[in-house]
Each structure stands twice: as C-alpha cells, then as structure tokens.
Structure 1
Amino acid sequence: MIIFTANYKRFLMKKLVIFILLFVHHLTFSQTTILSGKIIDSKDKSPLIGVNISVNSSYGTASDFNGEYTIELNNGENAINFQYIGYETQKLIIDAESGQNYIKNISLNSTSTEMDLVVVSAGKFEQKLEEVTVSMDVIKPSLIENKNSTDLEVLMNQSPGVQVVDGQANIRGGSGWSYNTGSRVLVMIDDMPLLSGDRGTVNWNMIPMENISQIEVIKGASSVLFGSSAMNGVINVRTAYPKGEPETKVALFSGIYDRPSRDGLHWWGDDTRSFQGMSFSYAQQKNNTGIVFGGNIYSNDGYRGGYVTNTESSKFPGALPVSEKWARFNFNSHHNSKKISGLSYGLNANVTYLHQFQSLIFQNDEIGYTPIGVPDGSKPALFTQFMLNVDPFIKFRNTNNNTLHSYKSRFYRDNHAPFLSERAFSDVVFQEYQFQKTRPEYKFKKPNRKQVFTIGLASNYVKGDYKDVYGHDMIYNGQLQEYTAIDAPEIKQLFNYSLYGQYDLKFNKLNVSLGTRLEHFNSYKDNYLVPVIRSGINYQLLKGTFLRSSFGQGYRYPTIMEMFVETDYDPMYIYPNPDLDPESGWSAELGIKQLIKIGEWKGMIDLAGFIMHYDDMIEFSFGNWGAPTDGLVGFGFKCINIGATEISGFEFSLMGEGKIGIVDVTLLGSYTKVNPIILDPEASYGKFYVLGIENDINYINSSYDQSGVLKYRHENILKFDVNLDYKRIMTGLSFRYNSLMRNMDLVFGSDQFNGGSGPGAVDIGILDSRERMLNGDKIIDFRIGYHINDELTFSLIVDNLLNREYQHRPADLGPPRAFTIKLNAKI
C-alpha cells in the first residue's frame, strides 16, 4: 500500500489544477471563431463577386458568385479589409471572442466617377485602366443612348483612333479598305469572338446595344490572349448583368433624311426617305438566377438611289423595291449554385434577321447616291441574312485557393442569301477552357502586390458552304482565256487550336505582363504552327502619372472568302486568290497617361507613340484581274499579299466626366496621326494580263499616289464628343475630321474610270469627287434632350448638321443630314 503524505497530496492537487487550467485554456483557443456575411453594391443591392477580404493583412479569402464570404478570425482584435476594384475600401474592426460566430453584411460604395474605370480585356482579370500595359479606351453606354447609335459600327467611329469603313474596323490605320472581309480587329462579346466563319467579318447588327455595360478597345497586336484576327487590336463588348432590382429599358425613335446638298444626289424627288426603330431590354436577378432579354427592330428606306421602298421613283421608274431592315432578339442567363459554392453556369443566345443592300461604288459622281449597275437592270447587291449564336458557359471560383476555372463556347451560324443566288452557310464553333490563379495582396503580407497567372486552351472550327462562290471547279487566274483547275470543294473548313499563358505582376508602382501563345492551323491550304509573344510594363512615375511600354506579335490566316470568293455585284467582279499567304507582324508602343482633377471633374490625358510592322500584308486591291468578257472588261477586286509594310504615328486622347460649376460635363476626344508606308514599293506581288502580255504588278504601277503611302488610309484623324447636363436639359455635340485618303488603286484615278475612251471605259468621276474633298471630311452631329423625369427622356438628334458631302472611301458617299426624335424610358 502506498501512503501519501499531506505535503505530497497538496503537491498533486496543485499539479492537477494546473493541468486542468491548461487543458481548458487549450479547448478555449481551439474553438473556431467565424466571420461570414454577404457583400453587395450599396446602390443597386447586387452581389459583388470576388471581393478581397483580408484579416490583419496576413490571410484572407474572396466573396463567391452570390457575394457571400466566410473567414476565420483570431481571438482578440481583428482588422478586416474589404477591397474591390472600382469601389471604396471598407475596414472593419472586430474584437473576437473564442467560439463566437459573427455575421457582417457589407455594402460597398462605388467610386464617385466613371473615370475610376475597371477593365477586363487587357489581362482577362479586373484592372484599373491607368495600370494596364497597353493602350486602351473605354466607351460607356451613355454615349450609345445619347447618340442613337442603331448599331455598334456607327458608335465606334467616335472612339479614339478607330474607324469603321464598310463594316471593316481598323485601329490607327492598321487596315485599309477590304469591304468587310478579313478583319484584323477582333470584335468580341463577353470575351468570345463574333466574326463570321467564311468572311471573317463583323455583323454589327448582332451586338445588343441596349444591354452594354461598357466597350473596351485594345490597340495593337493582342494575339496572345485572343488569337488570330487580333493583329490590330480588340473591341470587346461587355454585356450588363442584372442588378438587385428588376429593370426595363425601352427606346423608340423615328427620323428622316434631309434634301442633299447637290440636286444630282436628290434622286427621290418628292418622296420621303425615313427610318424608325425601337429597342428594349429587361433584366432581373432573383435568388441565385439572373436573366436578361432584349431586342431591336429597325427599318430604313435608305438614301442610296435606284431602288424605292414603297413607291416608284420619278427618276427611276420601275426600280426594284428594297429597304434596310433588321430584327434581333437576345437572351442571357446565369445561375449561381446553392449546393456548390463558387459554381455558376448559364446560357446566352442571339437571333438576328436582316435584309440589306450593299454598294461597292457609285454609278458616277453626278448621281453619287446611285450605285453602279442601277437602273440598267444589272443584278443588285441585295441580300438577306439569318444569324444565330448559342453560348453555354460554366465557371468555378475557389475562394480558398484563389483559383478560377472557366469553360465557354459559342456556336455561330451565318446564313447569307444574296439576290438571285443560292444561300451561303457559315458555321463557327468556338471553345475555350481557362485556368487562373491569383496571389492576392494579403498573401504577400505587404500592400500593393499581386500576381495573376492565366493559362488556357482554345479551339475554333470554321466551315463555309456556298456553291455559287466557293465551289467552282475552274477558277480564272488572270490570264486571257486561260483557266487553271484547282481543288475547290463546295465546303471549305479550317481548324485552329491554341495554347496560351500569361503572367501579370503588380509590385508597388510597377505592373508587368508577359505572355505567349502557340497556334496550330489545319486549313484548306496547308498546316501552320505559329508562336507569338507579348510583353508590357506600366510604372507609376508620380501621383496620377503612369508610363507604359508594350510589344506584341500577331498572326492572321486568310479567310475562306479572301482566298476562294468568285462572285459579282454587277457589273463589278470579285476574283479569288487561292495562293494567298497568311500575314504576320508586330506592334510596339510607348505611352504616358495622366489623371487630372479639376474640382469635381475627373479625367485622363493620354499620349502614345506607336509602330506596327506587317509581313505579307493582305489588301483588297482593284485591278485588271479578270477576262475582257467580264464586267468592266476584267477590272475588279481581289485580295493579294502586298509584302512588308509599316505604320507609325502618335495619338493624343482626352476623356473625363464630372461637374464643372453646376453643369455635368462628359468629354471624349482624340487626335491620331499615322504614317502608313510600304517598305519595298517595287516588289512584285502579282501579275495581270493585257492583250496577252504578262505584267508584274507592284505598288508603283498600281497606286494613284507613288509616294509610298499605303492605300485607303486617313493620315490625320480628329474627333471629339462633349455632353452637357444641366438640371433637366441635356445637349451634346460630336465632331469627326478625316483627312483626304491620299492614295487609292491607280485605276480609280485613270482615264478608264474618269471620262476616257476605249473598251470598257466608264465615267465614274472619282477624280471630280476627290477634287471637292481635298480638305477632308468634317462632320458635326448635334443633340438636345429634356429629362421629363427620372424615367423618361425626350431628345432631338441631328446627324451631319451642316449637310456636308463626304466620303467613307473613294466612290462611296456618306448620308446627308438626318433628323431623329427619340424617347428613352427606364422603369
């Protein structure tokens, strides 16, 4: 038997008490303390996704697709930061007790001005506009509403450095005139391309103008993240997500064309040429599901002559009735899973039908609104078009390890039916998987530091099916009475696969971006494996002063239409070129951005110098490519490689908004100077035959101006838009100046097309038209409106206020003055 003394018993009791106290203390500290809640926009109550939540700057998490978050706290005082780009940072102090759970719902205030812009396109993650490493502009939806832009093509002509001619977008002179075929600018909706499969063209009518959050324009080669067709830049349309409260928007408008400035243009006599339309959208977020649907209906009698909508023209009796019409319906949806936190999925769709008329060149300068071939019974350039896209997507955001998995796809059908011809079918199937890993600020345990690594896989399948255009067994190669058989099945296909990666680092005042992409083309001509790279740097020199530099490569494979098209818009022919090579190039830039603040008015001033280099550049060229028995004795259009080119210049832009005194002032302006040159003017890039004699074609013998300037470029571009709001009155003014296109195809300035004699000679009068426009185009648009209340606005819009005659390009006149009345309603 063991006998304990009293002293030993006291010793054991003391040890036991200490053990119990330590055990209880351990249990207390091992109990988890949780903070959770939901983060919303303070104004519209919509959930905010991806808000960074950090505790004591040492660890953190992010809000999910429902705006909800959960994070552990330490015992004692915790300093919690809620940070989100475009919103004011909110700080919260909690003196946490062990085992106690806390619920804190947070409302974040957006920054007070639209100049605190957040963009996604530059790096496929959210960044402040002033911190991106490339030149980038943002167009807000207010400009769409104020100007009554019926499609995005009209609006983009107001964007700095951007021009759209015949549907073809170019940035800083990166393209000439290609009749909306083979775009070097990639137009996207929500990060997915919207280029037709056979033509590589933009169907601007498909873009839901009534549901745009903002438009982001990247300038320069962007092929690393976006692939082929992004050689000259990207126009990314970001659609709006539904907010907390249901919202309905309706716009109604109607207008007429005024009498042109010259009597010869006024072909419609006493008739009225009118246009009208409406658009609507409805958006609602209910529980975890958001839906948006909208549409647009538009009808335009047009200002070009020879065809009449409902009545016969006194000048052209018996002309074929035609007008421009379209209708579009779009639907967007997304659902945030309740069972799996961070999972969201949805389906977007768009259906568009249009009936349209196209004009290659006018019949002659005297009657410049009348296209060639009218009214002599030739086949007009009329067509109907049915377009459909269906876009399923799924995303998973893991807030614990800051990763994002994203899969998106698009099926795009373009059914194109020219007048008196068989239908053309074009399909695009686009798929992309993307993984993104973010190391946020709290992981560094130091402020202003962040890493984002992005990797992705993409595939693009293109099919063109058009017997009348692509399926000829014999294709004329330019030599008199000599044809060459080529393998030209009716269906043309192109497979494109790519792997890309990009690393972005924010380190205090420095932002760095590095990326690469590998693309494989399996085509109707050959197989290509092409690597491209990009890099960029942005450094904050002073408060509000940001210096940037970037370099990027690009590569574009020719479209089906550029290589195989053989058709006619009587009497004009378009000829094929199955030997067309891909084009490649690079661009570099040095720029500086300065933020400015004058009282309550905030803005940005940007100055950039740039250079773009292209090898085997593809151009739409007019020449003697055909047989003498063809229309215009073989003169027509053809896509050719013109060799190495270089486009350099600088751009100055200014944007801002806010109050000056008692007036809200919004301003967007720019001046772009470009120097587009060919590097080897004497290099032969084709052959044509005249009376059986072979001739080499080069820049010198095919250009109206032999100074080295590339064809169909405006070398000086000035534009601005200013909008003033005072109480219930709104007024605005837009201005656009384009210098004369100094160079064009030689035949447009030859006697053959300007009153000469000989076989096939026609008096189109292009030189007469140019003579009147030596000082360039100066177009002013004016608008004035009245806010009846917070929901209704009535406005009067006058386009081409001074009723000036101007040209988009040689032999194509712009519209005369037009008056529009418009009613906007928001419910």
Structure 2
Amino acid sequence: MKKAILKYNVLLFVLLLQQNAWAQTGIISGRVYDAQTNEGLPGANVMVAGTYRGSSTDNDGTFRIARLAAGNYTIRVSFIGYDPVQRTVRVGADSTAWVSFALQAGAVQMGEVVVIASKQEEELEKTTTSVSVLTSETAMRRNALRLDNALESVPGVNLMAENVNVRNSTGYTRGLGSRVLMLLDGVPILMSDFGNMNWDLVPVAEIERVEVLKGPASAIYGSFALGGVMNIITKAPASQGRFTIRTTAGIYDQPYYSDWDWTDRTLHFNRTDLSYSRQIGTVGVKMSLAKHESTGDRMNRHFQRVNASGKLIWTPSSTAQLALFSSFVRDRRGEFVWSRLDQPYLVDPEFEDFRVSQDALSFYLKYQQLFGERFELKARASYIRQISGNQYKVDGDFKPAEGPGANIELGTKLHKTLHLITGVEYKYDLAEQRHFGRHFSYTLSPYIHQSWEPVSRLRFTAGARYDFHYLLPSAKLQDQFIKLPPIVNPLPEGKKEDYISPQVGMSYELFDGTVLHGGYGSGIRIPTIAERFTRFTIPLEFIGNANLETEKSRSFEIGIRQRIGNHARLEITAFTNTYRNLIEPVYVADLTRFYATLINIEQAEIRGIEAAANLNLFGNKFSLDLSATLTDPVIQETGVHEGIQLPFESGDYLSYRPRLIAYASPTLQMGSFSLAADFAYTSKLEREQLQLFKDDKRIAKRQLDVRASYQYKNALLQFIVRNALQYHFTQIERNLGEVRNFSLALQWEY
C-alpha cells in the first residue's frame, strides 16, 4: 500500500513538472475591500479553488498570484467577520487579469479559514470535526497577559491550574503530561521530559490566531492528541515597516476577608511587549521582546519572565517559501504551597525559600514548494529545549530536556474535488535529571489523509496514522550528578510499542447557512519519561510508574452549524469520548509513609453537549458571545491496583473535571469607545472528584472581568478589572483563584 502510494506520487510529480514546463502562464491581481467603507482588508485569504495556489492581501487589500497556466479559475476570498465570495476569472497567457472583491460584513467567525482539521486550508463552516478559533483581536481585547488566560473564551475549553482541558479531557495532572497536543505553526512544542506546555514561550502579542480542534486527532497528529489539538499560529511580517509597543501595569486588591490579609505592601504586576516587522524585498522579518513580572497576590507567587522571539520568511518565488522561527523564555519564580485554612495566602516557613528556574527554547525551519498547481511539498526540522533547575532549594544538577524532530509531507490534488496528503514524522526525546536519570526515546510515524467533495455541499474526510515508539535501553544503575546513591532504572531493556489511529468525518450543507457535521476519531498518548521514572521527596514524595500503559481514546460526535441571517451564528455538538488506560495521579497512605503515584484507569467515558453562539447587532455596535459545555465524566472501570487504596471507585466522576463550564461576553461599541465584560462559570466539583482534602469546602467559579477601551488613531487605551466581584473560588482544593486586580494597558503602532 505504502509503495503504491509512493510510486503514484512520483509519477504524478514528474507529469506535473512537465505540464508546468510546457504551460504558458499569466497573473491574477486584485483588491479585497469592505463593501460599505471601500477600505482595503489586509490579511484576507485568496485561494485558487482546486489548487494549492493562493495569497493573502497586503495592508491596502491588494494581492497577486503569479505563474498560473492559461485558463479559467475559481477564486475564493474569505475574511473573518465577512461573508466569503467567489468568482470565475479567465487568465490569458503572458497577461494579467485584474479582479476586485467587495465583502459584506457578516456574523462573527464567518469566512474564517483554518488548517488544523485536515492539514489543509478549509473554511471553518465546512470542517467535519468541531473547531473553534481564538483570534488575536479577541485575545488582545481581553488584555490576556499569557495565552492560557485567553483560552477560556473558547467554547469547551477550561484551565485547571496550568492544565488545559478540551471537553474535560485532561483534568489536573500537576504538570505531568497533557491530553491536548500543542502546536506552534503546526510544529509540536510540548516538552520532552514532562510533556507539558510552557505558556510563556509565545507572547500573546505575536499570535495571529489559535485554532482549537476538539476530540481525539491522533490519525493526523499522533501522540498527545488524545482529547484535542491547539495550533498557535504566529503573525507574519508586515509588508511595510511596523513598530508596536504594548504595556500593562496593575495592582492587586486586598482579599475580601480582612483576616486573610498577609502583607502591608502594594502587590503589583506589569508587562511590556515590543515588536518590529517589515518586508525587505523577498524577505520578511519580525522580532519581539517582552518582560512580564509580578509580586503575586500571595506569598511565593512572584515571578519575573523575559521572552524574545524572531521570525523570518523568505519567498524567492511565487511557488517557494522558507520560514524560520525561534523563541526563548527565561522564567524565575517562587512556588506557592498552601499553609493553613485560616491564612490561605501564606506558605509554611519550611517552604518560603522554594524557587523554580526554567529556560526554554523553541526553533523550527520549514520549507514549502509548489510544483504546478496540484502538487505541494512541505519539509520541517524543529527543536524544543527546556531546562529546570534549583527546584525546592536543592542544588542544580539538571540537564536540558531536548526534542529534535522532522516532518516531510506530500500534498496532491488528484482532482479538484479530491485532496490527498501523505507524510512521515520523526520525533526524538532526550531527558536527563537527578529525579529520573537518563532516558531516550523516538517515535516514527507515517500517515495518510484525504478529503473528498463529490458535490459542493458535501465533504468527506478519512485518514490513518501509524506510530512506532521506542523507549531505548539504558543502564540499570545510573550515577547521579551529585553524591547520592545511583538511580535504579526499572526499564533497562527499554520498551517498544506501536499503534494505528483511524479517523473519518463528514459535513453536509443541508440548506444555505445550515451545515451538519459528524465523525469518528481515535487518539493515543504514550506516557512521558517523567511519568514513568520520576522520583522525588520534596514537598511530597512522588514515585513514577514504569509500568504505565499508553492511553487510548475513541470519539463520536454529531453537530449542526446554523447561520441566522447575516449577524448570528449557532453551533451545537453532541459527543461521547471513551478512554482506556487513562493515567491519573493518586495518593497512597500505608503504615510507613504517604506518597503520590500514577495509575491507569481501565475505562472512562465523557459524554456531553456543547453549544456556542455569536451575535452582532446594530451595525456591529453590539456583540455577544455565549458558550456552554455540559459533560458527564464517569469512571466505568477502575481496574485492579494491588496495594493501592483508590480515592475513587467505578461509577464516580473523574477527578478535577467540572460538569458545566459556561462563558458570556457582551461588547458595546460606541465609536472609538467600547465597554465589555467576560463572565466565566465553572460548576463546583463533587466530593468524589477531589484527591486530597475531600472535606474542604467546594466553591464554583464565578468570575466577572470588565473593561473599557478607547481607540485614537494608532493608539489603544484600556482599563481592566479582573474578578470584579472579588469572588473567592477554588477549582483545586486549597488553591484559591486570583484576587481582584486593576490594570491599565496602552498599545501604540506606527
């Protein structure tokens, strides 16, 4: 099968090269503008239907697509917030065809183009799986100082501490592993040792949008895509020189209860982002620098973070592009450990000197080449690195966790209605530190995916991926970096495992503005090095589990997307996700000690329904975003775990997964002035969903943020109040949400 596909692609490649060499070519140029104001729309997506050719508009709304063989083409234009438009254009040999597109403003997220669902550009409305988009405008409007602060506005997404959940897939893992795969411009960026996300690696100001795929997607993306995928797409360099500065300064309020006051200092935070980008001939350059620091709202919650990033795009021709991106973050922070119920913002004197030090680096190099109009080659090399040290006031002796990777992919337009992608991905993981020793692994993954549109209203997708994972053999006894007994490796012989993940989907436009979608997906998550081998004793003894099995999931979903007129959009999706070997932390008390470890839950199921609505009225002067996700996260079979008294049993709800999450955000625009609010609700956990302190009071999250904004030419001024009601809530026992705080933000571009 694989050989046949390879032979076919090679033959097609040769034929297309010949066709491209013989054909006489022409150019399509044009302008995309707002039908009401006649202003150009920068960043609009312009695609030649049935081919890989396309472009995006410049600052004035113009575009140019060169080297098109003479003939008739369907040009499709889309831009978020506007109704998509398409038109047939005839291209003559050695000539330029000019065409203009006047777009009408429509409902929020109409006309958005995404790539996460099938690794190719497609309209959001036509995806066969559930996909949501967080735009840069939305994140900056909320003045999110980190990406995770903005994600809860996405339907079906909530955060438990720093663990991101898509439809309750992750729960609270204490930084070990993620069931949501994180991508940066399509490149995996989870860390090689702990499998977690460093949220400071990409500044919010540098993000163009975040695409969120809900449900397992290992057929396309492999391990970690057990519950969903998030693709962080960074901004491209501006066509003309552009400098941007954004700065925020704020203070924390006193706790609602005066007995909880713990300091006379004024607690504060600030962040400044600087960026510059421009196009120099065929090379686009974008650079940024950011600093974020805070005293924290409680003892040992202080931090200081510095981030630098750069992006370079070289476009030597209309059919080739080379992109390079790198980002570095340095994080120095305290570590809060709860002390007493009557003083929830203090830490025990024993832990006052706890500190965390982290440095992380991400890098990728991507090359894209078009051959003719129906063949595309993509190649990528990437590298992710993070070092943690001086944790819990113990001398260093940590080495970087490193994750080099590569991917090569062939895309073929077999027909204007049929698109085939074949590729292979390689990932190597190296981790070494005194908490788990020295371990290496690699994963090799060929995959295939196709999409077919037999008619314009109907779309089918199908794909599969094979993942071969090899945890390499290593020494049984491993010397430590400092004078301590050698580390015992419980898997010196290593471990080999392989998996096949299939996926199918369908979408059908029943009527104009009404789209049905549904599908089946499967997912895997191979245990991380840290989950298998970590051992430490401070602040609590933790023992990894070398015998952990790979997590598996399968999902069925069906939904409807409905456009109501030109100013409203509604989507409702029902889903059921079944998990096997779900890895969960548990706490064990025996006669001599108390410690934490990890186990596999034999089977669990999360069923639910998700609804999201967007409304724009009065000429976009008033907008309202609403979403709610109701789930039933149930343990079906715990499995047998000898010597461990489980804190849950079959039939209980899964730990740290609230049954209802909801979000509402109204915005009133009055010329240059706007008022907005964000209300986030998370239902309180059941007693059985807590792991440690089951008798602690459980409180639902009810957080209201309000903000006022004023735009004057290229300057934006914002005043923000977070947790305006000063509502104290807990999502994780003995860990209160952030207190009310006030901030002022200023952004200026020129």
TM-score calculated relative to the size of structure 2: 0.87
Matched, 1:667 2:614: no
Encode CA deviations 1:276-307: one digit per residue, 9 max, x unaligned: 111122222232111111122100100122x4
SS at match of 1:104: strand
Partner in structure 1 of residue 395 of structure 2: 421
Which residue among 506, 517, 521 is the counterpart of 1:552?
521
Amino acid at match of 1:603: A
Residue 50 of structure 1 deviates from its aligned partner by: 7.0
Given the superposition, is the C-alpha separation of residues 433 and 251 from structure 1 closer, same or farther in structure 2, using an over 3 Å criterion?
Answer: same
Matched, 1:595 2:563: yes
Residue 220 of structure 1 deviates from its aligned partner by: 0.4
Matched, 1:390 2:363: yes
Matched-pair contact (CA < 8 Å) for 1:427–1:463: yes
Distance in 1 between residues matched to 2:640 and 2:353, nearest whole Å: 34
Distance in 2 between residues matched to 1:386 and 1:549, nearest whole Å: 42
SS at match of 2:225: coil
Comparing 79-88 with 183-192, which one deviates more in the overlay? 79-88
Distance in 2 between residues matched to 1:534 and 1:733, nearest whole Å: 39
Residue 336 of structure 1 deviates from its aligned partner by: 1.0
Encode CA deviations 1:695-715: one digit per residue, 9 max, x unaligned: xx34xxx23x88521111101
Matched-pair contact (CA < 8 Å) for 1:663–1:726: no
Distance in 2 between residues matched to 1:439 and 1:603, nearest whole Å: 36
Partner in structure 1 of residue 643 of structure 2: 687
Which residue among 594, 600, 623 is the counterpart of 1:635?
594
SS at match of 1:643: strand
Matched-pair contact (CA < 8 Å) for 2:44–2:78: no
Residue 736 of structure 1 deviates from its aligned partner by: 0.9
Distance in 2 between residues matched to 1:687 and 1:747, nearest whole Å: 17
Unaligned runs of 5+ in 1: 1-30, 55-59, 308-321, 442-449, 471-489, 629-633, 689-696, 750-765
Which residue among 85, 88, 108 is the counterpart of 2:85?
88
SS at match of 1:284: strand
Residue 354 of structure 1 deviates from its aligned partner by: 0.7
Distance in 1 between residues matched to 2:201 and 2:31, nearest whole Å: 32
Residue 655 of structure 1 deviates from its aligned partner by: 2.4
Given the superposition, is the C-alpha separation of residues 706 and 71 from structure 1 closer, same or farther in structure 2, using an over 3 Å criterion?
Answer: closer
Partner in structure 1 of residue 309 of structure 2: 330
Distance in 1 between residues matched to 2:270 and 2:706, nearest whole Å: 19
Matched-pair contact (CA < 8 Å) for 2:696–2:733: no
Given the superposition, is the C-alpha separation of residues 394 and 609 from structure 1 closer, same or farther in structure 2, using an over 3 Å criterion?
Answer: same
Matched-pair contact (CA < 8 Å) for 1:221–1:587: yes
SS at match of 1:748: coil
Distance in 2 between residues matched to 1:33 and 1:436, nearest whole Å: 24
Amino acid at match of 2:366: F
Partner in structure 1 of residue 446 of structure 2: 499
1:513-662 to 2 correspondence within 5 Å? 513-524=461-472, 525-570=494-539, 572-597=540-565, 602-624=567-589, 628=592, 634-656=593-615, 658=616, 660-661=617-618
Given the superposition, is the C-alpha separation of residues 193 and 518 from structure 1 closer, same or farther in structure 2, using an over 3 Å criterion?
Answer: same
Matched-pair contact (CA < 8 Å) for 1:711–1:743: no
Which residue among 141, 144, 169 is the counterpart of 2:136?
141
Partner in structure 1 of residue 26 of structure 2: 35
Matched-pair contact (CA < 8 Å) for 1:168–1:181: no
Residue 384 of structure 1 deviates from its aligned partner by: 0.9
Partner in structure 2 of residue 153 of structure 1: 148
Partner in structure 2 of residue 7 of structure 1: none
Amino acid at match of 1:354: D
Encode CA deviations 1:577-598: one digit per residue, 9 max, x unaligned: 1221211121111111101225
Given the superposition, is the C-alpha separation of residues 729 and 436 from structure 1 closer, same or farther in structure 2, using an over 3 Å criterion?
Answer: same
Given the superposition, is the C-alpha separation of residues 686 and 403 from structure 1 closer, same or farther in structure 2, using an over 3 Å criterion?
Answer: farther
Matched-pair contact (CA < 8 Å) for 2:690–2:733: no
Encode CA deviations 1:743-799: one digit per residue, 9 max, x unaligned: 4577634xxxxxxxxxxxxxxxx63433xx2xx221111001112x12111111000
Distance in 2 between residues matched to 1:745 and 1:502, nearest whole Å: 38
SS at match of 1:203: coil
Residue 540 of structure 1 deviates from its aligned partner by: 1.1
Amino acid at match of 2:409: Q
Amino acid at match of 2:294: N
Which residue among 670, 681, 684 is the counterpart of 1:740?
684
Matched-pair contact (CA < 8 Å) for 2:685–2:731: no
Given the superposition, is the C-alpha separation of residues 408 and 121 from structure 1 closer, same or farther in structure 2, using an over 3 Å criterion?
Answer: same
SS at match of 2:695: helix
1:446-461 to 2 correspondence within 5 Å? 450-461=417-428
Amino acid at match of 2:404: V
SS at match of 2:663: strand
Distance in 2 between residues matched to 1:105 and 1:804, nearest whole Å: 58
Distance in 1 between residues matched to 2:179 and 2:720, nearest whole Å: 32
Distance in 2 between residues matched to 1:262 and 1:379, nearest whole Å: 23
SS at match of 2:637: coil
Distance in 2 between residues matched to 1:595 and 1:48, nearest whole Å: 21
SS at match of 1:709: coil
Which residue among 701, 709, 715 is the counterpart of 1:792?
715
TM-score calculated relative to the size of structure 1: 0.79
Given the superposition, is the C-alpha separation of residues 578 and 661 from structure 1 closer, same or farther in structure 2, using an over 3 Å criterion?
Answer: same
Residue 650 of structure 1 deviates from its aligned partner by: 0.8
Residue 110 of structure 1 deviates from its aligned partner by: 5.7
Encode CA deviations 1:458-490: one digit per residue, 9 max, x unaligned: 0111111102x01xxxxxxxxxxxxxxxxxxx2
Amino acid at match of 1:514: A
Residue 346 of structure 1 deviates from its aligned partner by: 2.5
Encode CA deviations 1:47-88: one digit per residue, 9 max, x unaligned: 98873179xxxxx883579943234547xxxx6543345453
Aligned-pair identity in percent equals: 20
SS at match of 1:124: coil
Distance in 1 between residues matched to 2:497 and 2:52, nearest whole Å: 43
Encode CA deviations 1:519-541: one digit per residue, 9 max, x unaligned: 00001541011111000011111
Encode CA deviations 1:557-610: one digit per residue, 9 max, x unaligned: 11111111112442x222221221211121111111101225xxx232111111
Encode CA deviations 1:311-350: one digit per residue, 9 max, x unaligned: xxxxxxxxxxx72110101101111114xx5121121111
SS at match of 2:345: coil
Matched-pair contact (CA < 8 Å) for 1:253–1:278: yes
Which residue among 712, 723, 726 is the counterpart of 2:667?
723
Residue 378 of structure 1 deviates from its aligned partner by: 3.7
Matched, 1:298 2:292: yes
The total of aligned residue pairs comes to 687
Which residue among 66, 71, 77 is the counterpart of 1:69?
66
Residue 37 of structure 1 deviates from its aligned partner by: 4.7
Residue 826 of structure 1 deviates from its aligned partner by: 2.0
Matched-pair contact (CA < 8 Å) for 2:356–2:388: yes
Given the superposition, is the C-alpha separation of residues 263 and 585 from structure 1 closer, same or farther in structure 2, using an over 3 Å criterion?
Answer: same
Given the superposition, is the C-alpha separation of residues 40 and 230 from structure 1 closer, same or farther in structure 2, using an over 3 Å criterion?
Answer: farther
Matched-pair contact (CA < 8 Å) for 1:61–1:71: no
Residue 640 of structure 1 deviates from its aligned partner by: 1.3
Matched-pair contact (CA < 8 Å) for 1:61–1:402: yes
Partner in structure 2 of residue 412 of structure 1: 384
Given the superposition, is the C-alpha separation of residues 745 and 652 from structure 1 closer, same or farther in structure 2, using an over 3 Å criterion?
Answer: closer
Unaligned runs of 5+ in 2: 1-21, 34-38, 57-62, 473-493
Name the structure with the higher strand share. 2
SS at match of 1:337: strand
Which residue among 236, 241, 244 is the counterpart of 2:239?
244
SS at match of 1:679: strand
Amino acid at match of 2:584: E
Matched, 1:818 2:741: yes
Distance in 2 between residues matched to 1:747 and 1:69, nearest whole Å: 61
SS at match of 1:155: helix
Partner in structure 2 of residue 808 of structure 1: 731
Given the superposition, is the C-alpha separation of residues 325 and 81 from structure 1 closer, same or farther in structure 2, using an over 3 Å criterion?
Answer: same
Aligned residues: CA RMSD: 2.6
Partner in structure 2 of residue 51 of structure 1: 47
Larger radius of gyration: 1
